[in-house]
Amino acid sequence: MMNLPKSTEVGRTVPKERFYEKESSTTKDYFVKNIEKIIWANKISPTTLNISSKTYPELQVFKIYIKSIDKKIKDIVRLMDGKIPYPVLFSIICKNEVKSIIAAKQVKEEKIVVIEQFENDWQELKDFVLHLKGNRVDSIYENYMYQIEPDLQIGGSFEENLTKYKQIKSLKAEIEKINRKIKKELSIDKKQELARSRNELENRIKRMLLS
């Protein structure tokens, strides 16, 4: 449960066409066939809560009801997010399961651009909990990102944490590539060489987490 104050409630159905017009037929088909409805559920702003704002004037909460769970929904949410000029917390709901998706957005040349997308695992609706924390839009937004992606909360400012998170994510992707190579490699010497490279990357991550 999110238990947002009643003052933040919007409860407005958003036509799917707003998001898939001018998109490919494949994207349109997904909206038509797999998305039941899109609800603009809440608006978190100084006009709906006793909070202030700084970089972002408001944070939106959208609920997307889908017919079946698949991996493509993350890309669809990113597409939708890029069309909304505010930070958005998405709750994706399929029957009795839910997952949250939220993106770090930055203002670039007077436009809000999706920088990095975060999601948690699917869970039972009855177990779903996100807490409203903060006294301004920016801090509430950041706290939702920290709750959805705990690895993002490394210890610095949000901007520092995001930079470090992206670097660590990239290093982890390199480690996964090395692991796949080790599994396929037949030469013991090359396996050991790859393992040393992996250890160097793992040590870089440890140093970054401690810095």
Question: Which residues have CB under 8 Å from 18's CB, separation 6+?
Answer: 83
- How confident is the model over 85-142, as pLDDT tens digits? 899 999 999 999 999 999 998 877 767 788 999 999 999 999 999 999 999 999 999 9
Identify the pLDDT of residue 3.
Answer: 86
Q: How confident is the model at residue 209 (pLDDT cuts 50, 70, 90)?
A: confident
Identify the pLDDT of residue 156.
Answer: 84
Identify the pLDDT of residue 175.
Answer: 96
Q: What is the mean pLDDT of the chain?
A: 93
Identify the pLDDT of residue 146.
Answer: 96
Identify the pLDDT of residue 202.
Answer: 94
Identify the pLDDT of residue 172.
Answer: 94
pLDDT at 72 over 90: yes
Identify the pLDDT of residue 1.
Answer: 75
Identify the pLDDT of residue 200.
Answer: 94
User: Of the ranges 59-63, 122-126, 149-153, 191-195, which one carries the lowest mean pLDDT score?
Assistant: 149-153
- pLDDT: is 111 or 75 the higher one? 75
pLDDT at 154 over 90: no
Identify the pLDDT of residue 97.
Answer: 96
Identify the pLDDT of residue 17.
Answer: 94
